[in-house]
């Protein structure tokens, strides 16, 4: 199976923090997956995380933006100390039980706010020339955000792959070992 280290790193980074269930919601009962037909279909999951900008600078490498070398990061550190970052990842996982494959698509958006966000955004144009922006990465100057759309074609999966997931009692949700909940959409 072809691995996508940036996607794996991003998912581990983002999905490491899980949100608590809403009060009053029925509690899911989780169990192991015992057959392929239990996971066949399209599953979607969303995770959000907020943090100070200096804690999120590693995401630039995940986005494929390598223009920020350590010396440049030292230059911008005084400007980012009061900037906040909101990270949202929307992931779609398509499992084909007949073919025993999985394909993934993800949209990751990082939005900057507070502090010197406007100054950071102007500096972005100095440090990240257009030719250094990888395919699938776009900047939204109005909302001070950067988005990466990515997808991975179908790859073979094994039962060991499913060891990282459990299903709920209704077969409508999957939970990963990182506590990310995916909901079945078809």
Kindly report, residue by residue over 50-63, the tens digit of the pLDDT: 998 877 766 665 56
Using pLDDT thresholds of 50, 70 and 90, give the confidence band for residue 43: very high
Give dist(CA 186, CA 183) in Å, integer. Answer: 9
Give dist(CA 21, CA 18) in Å, integer. Answer: 9
Report if pTM > 0.85.
Answer: no
Q: Which two tokens stand for residue 75?
A: 């230059």
| Residue where the block lists tokens 């029925």 | 26
Q: What is the DSSP letter of 163?
A: T
The per-residue pLDDT for range 24-34, each reduced to its tens digit, is 567 999 999 98
The per-residue pLDDT for range 75-113, each reduced to its tens digit, is 777 777 889 999 999 999 999 999 999 999 999 999 999
Q: Which two tokens stand for residue 56?
A: 């999120």
Task: Please report the pLDDT score of residue 16 as a whole number.
Answer: 43
Using pLDDT thresholds of 50, 70 and 90, give the confidence band for residue 160: confident
């Amino acid at each position: 199976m072809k691995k996508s280290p940036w996607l794996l790193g991003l998912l581990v980074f983002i999905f490491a923090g899980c949100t608590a269930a809403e009060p009053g919601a029925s509690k899911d009962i989780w169990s192991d997956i015992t057959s392929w037909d239990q996971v066949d279909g399209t599953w979607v999951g969303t995770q959000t995380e907020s943090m100070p900008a200096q804690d999120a600078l590693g995401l630039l490498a995940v986005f494929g933006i390598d223009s920020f070398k350590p010396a440049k990061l030292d230059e911008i550190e005084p400007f980012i100390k009061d900037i906040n970052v909101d990270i949202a990842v929307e992931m779609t996982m398509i499992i084909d039980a007949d073919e025993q494959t999985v394909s993934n698509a993800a949209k990751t958006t990082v939005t900057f706010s507070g502090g010197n966000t406007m100054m950071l955004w102007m500096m972005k144009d100095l440090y990240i020339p257009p030719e250094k922006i990888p395919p699938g990465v776009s900047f939204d100057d109005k909302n001070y955000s950067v988005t990466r759309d990515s997808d991975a074609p179908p790859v073979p999966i094994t039962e060991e792959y499913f060891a990282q997931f459990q299903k709920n009692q209704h077969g409508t949700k999957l939970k990963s070992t990182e506590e990310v909940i995916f909901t079945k959409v078809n």
